[in-house]
A = this chain, B = another copy of it.
């Protein structure tokens, strides 16, 4: 079977791997579709991000769905052919954080396609994958492969929205309208936000943001002062979701958050030159949100009930052999939101 393996910056190869076998409690999944994430692009462009660096070749990808092809001993409820979204995280279940139910912070987390551990955990951009039964979430026929492959980014957005507490009746700012930002707009709308302003530096993402529910969109490259209208009377947003990783977005966003308001930081990035007093005087809460756990199943359920429709995010679907074309599109934010690969 084939996999997309990265050896270094701009060095991705289609390689043949031996077909894996499902052990006890495991499932063999034939991968149907996978989504290209920003972190895949970081490995592709730079060989990593921040302190996380490729130390050995690694199959890319952590967003995928597929169909059960074989069943290990002791697994029930997943007959061959069952379509499943694959949760890429596998917490240990035994460490201090797992025992507290904080699975995201597992001391021994295994996460597909991540170079955080050495040796790295291979990713899901491959034709066959063995997973633990707990990582499989059944997908109904009404949800396509392309949609099911987007369960993971939707789960990230849902986790951030849940960590923000109730949004019912709240005014929300979303900075950065990549896939996560756009999914947050959808989720915040579903959670009862009454006004959503979205910012980005390009017209393409903002058009989609408006389509999926933003009440106001601001192109901060074209119109850098427009956001500051929201900073009057100490700020008029209850909650900021910072999904760009751009320090300027966080700083200008905080200016627009009302006293005792909340700034959720999702975007990964570098250093931000933060004025301590901007946090103290308004008693702002700056709160990180990272990955997800129980929100993975919630994401499948919301797609199945059509309360959330991720199809507007799909920019292109390519067979894995055409990965180069897919990655090129994914790198162009003016044209691409979410690019998918198929592994048939």
Chain B residues whose C-beta falls within 8 Å of the C-beta of A281 in the assembled complex = 288, 290
CA distance in complex: A72, B66 (Å): 44
Interface flags for A270-296 (1: CB within 8 Å of B; 0: not) read: 111111110111111111111000100
Q: Is A55 an interface residue (CB 8 A)?
A: no
CA distance in complex: A274, B187 (Å): 28
Query: Which residues of chain A in 234-280 are interfacial with respect to chain B, using CB atoms and an 8 Å cutoff?
Result: 234, 245, 247, 250, 259-260, 265-277, 279-280
Contact across chains for A271 and B276 when beta carbons are under 8 A apart = yes
Chain B residues whose C-beta falls within 8 Å of the C-beta of A247 in the assembled complex = 276
Option from B270, B277, B282 in Cβ contact (under 8 Å) with A268: B277
CA distance in complex: A279, B272 (Å): 11
Interface of A is mostly: mixed
Q: Contacts A245-B276, A287-B283; is A191 near B194 (CB within 8 Å)?
A: no
Q: Is A2 an interface residue (CB 8 A)?
A: no
Q: Is A107 an interface residue (CB 8 A)?
A: yes
Contact across chains for B288 and A265 when beta carbons are under 8 A apart = no
| Min distance, Cβ A172 to any Cβ of chain B, angstroms | 13
Contact across chains for A158 and B169 when beta carbons are under 8 A apart = yes
Q: Is A104 an interface residue (CB 8 A)?
A: yes
CA distance in complex: A273, B275 (Å): 9
Contact across chains for A266 and B283 when beta carbons are under 8 A apart = no
Contact across chains for B305 and A194 when beta carbons are under 8 A apart = yes
Chain B residues whose C-beta falls within 8 Å of the C-beta of A270 in the assembled complex = 275-276
Contact across chains for B105 and A194 when beta carbons are under 8 A apart = no
Chain B residues whose C-beta falls within 8 Å of the C-beta of A97 in the assembled complex = 234, 259
Contact across chains for A289 and B280 when beta carbons are under 8 A apart = yes
Interface flags for A151-188 (1: CB within 8 Å of B; 0: not) read: 00000001001110111110000000000000000010
Task: Give the number of chain A interface residues (Cβ < 8 Å).
Answer: 62
Chain B residues whose C-beta falls within 8 Å of the C-beta of A167 in the assembled complex = 166, 168, 192
Q: Is A219 an interface residue (CB 8 A)?
A: no
CA distance in complex: A294, B168 (Å): 13
Option from B105, B192, B266, B288 in Cβ contact (under 8 Å) with A190: B192
CA distance in complex: A234, B96 (Å): 11
Q: Is A141 an interface residue (CB 8 A)?
A: no
Contact across chains for B272 and A274 when beta carbons are under 8 A apart = yes
Option from B99, B166, B233, B267 in Cβ contact (under 8 Å) with A107: B233
| Min distance, Cβ A14 to any Cβ of chain B, angstroms | 32
Q: Is A332 an interface residue (CB 8 A)?
A: no
Contact across chains for B276 and A269 when beta carbons are under 8 A apart = yes
Contact across chains for B287 and A285 when beta carbons are under 8 A apart = yes
Option from B105, B169, B284, B286 in Cβ contact (under 8 Å) with A162: B169
CA distance in complex: A289, B260 (Å): 9
Task: Sample 25 A-B pairs with CB under 8 A, ordered by A number.
Answer: A99-B101, A102-B260, A104-B259, A104-B283, A105-B259, A105-B282, A105-B283, A168-B187, A168-B191, A194-B302, A194-B307, A247-B276, A265-B276, A268-B277, A272-B273, A272-B275, A274-B274, A280-B288, A280-B290, A281-B288, A282-B290, A284-B288, A285-B287, A285-B288, A286-B287
